[in-house]
A and B are shown apart, each in its own frame.
Chain A
Amino acid sequence: MGLFDLFKKKNSGDVAKDRLKLLLVSDRANCSPDVMELIKNDIINVISKYMVIDAEGLDIQITQTESDSNNGSVPALFANIPIKDMKNRGSK
């Protein structure tokens, strides 16, 4: 909170909008374990079309990451997918 904040008073409507935008990003990111499992299975299916992956070793989670645009941290989906081999190498 700097000295200048005292002079440029923001409209409360804009304050509300900014607060809500940040709040809803984190609200929406709180997936249930069921949804996370569904996402995980879908990722396995998609990646498996192109690569042989270690499905057992696959790990996905939602964490916070720094954002340039949102002046703060935003949720991000991190996936750690061990690759065993490529499929159809050199065919395309």
Chain B
Amino acid sequence: MSEVIVVTSGKGGVGKTTTSANVGTGLAMLNKKVVLIDTDIGLRNLDVVMGLENRIVYNLVDVVEGNCRIKQALIKDKRYPNLYLLPSAQTRDKTSVSPEQMKKLTDELREEFDYIILDCPAGIEQGFKNARAGADRALVVTTPEVSAIRDADRIIGLLEANEIRKTDLIVNRIRMDMVRKGDMMSLDDVVDILSINLIGAVPDDENIVISTNNGEPLVGSDALAGKAYMNICRRILGEEIPLLDLSGKSGFWAKLAGIFKKN
């Protein structure tokens, strides 16, 4: 049975697009047929994070307006044949698509794909309403900062009001060295405040910047953040995986992986 997952956060810049790219790619690596949809109309980014920016012909708005068939707009990933991207339109605005149209689109894609991942724009306006319209479940991304957590709480409330069946939390960019010093909220603190299920924590890892530079998601690599994303994918599939030990080693392992990459 296919599942439509919206990746959202409220606040911008916490890692929605990076999470969408890594979760989508990870699920494809686990042999699922996946389509990633960039729903941020006017500010498209998922294509460049995936390294597929040069292959765009048609986009989401073209599909919705009937200028092309869905299959014509889907871009096949460079490395995984069962991974596709439906890019957003760059020269249109959020009102070009309605929640009803998004729901119709995701329902059509359900017939073809196991997982449909919607990368939601920041904010709680039309773009968010479009993205959540057809979703079965949500991944709420936050960082351990007051502003991101406050916005996440608001988003969780709005998702509940829209009867999204399942909402899970991803805490991104956590720095265990700061948590140990008491200068950053711990995972327990964040989960305690938001009181929803934690599906994964991703450490602040410079390899994420490097992988984004290269247009290749980090998931599946030996970098700590890559492992964390793969664990999240396995948990999405229903596997019981203990939380990754992010303590202390994050800096060391990240550096070590960095050294090997350079050589």
**Hey, which bits of chain A sit against chain B, CB under 8 A?**
11-14, 16-17, 19-21, 23-24, 27-28
Contact = CB atoms under 8 A, between A and B. Distances in A.
Contacts of A13: 178-179, 182-186, 189
A19 B149 CA distance: 11
A24 B182 contact: no
A21 to B, nearest CB: 6
Contacts of B192: 17
A20 B194 CA distance: 10
- Assign chain B's interface to a size class: 10 to 19
Contacts of A23: 146, 150
Nearest to A21: B193
Contacts of A24: 150, 153, 193
- CB-CB nearest 3 A-B residue pairs: A11-B182, A17-B189, A13-B182
Contact of A12 (B149, B154, B182): B182
Interface of B: 145-146, 149-150, 153-154, 157, 178-179, 181-186, 189, 192-193
B185 A17 contact: yes
A16 B157 contact: no
B157 A20 contact: no
Contacts of A19: 146
Given A17-B189, A20-B193, A21-B193, A27 B182 contact: no
Contacts of B145: 16
A12 B185 CA distance: 8
A21 B189 CA distance: 10
Contacts of B153: 24, 27-28
A21 B146 CA distance: 10
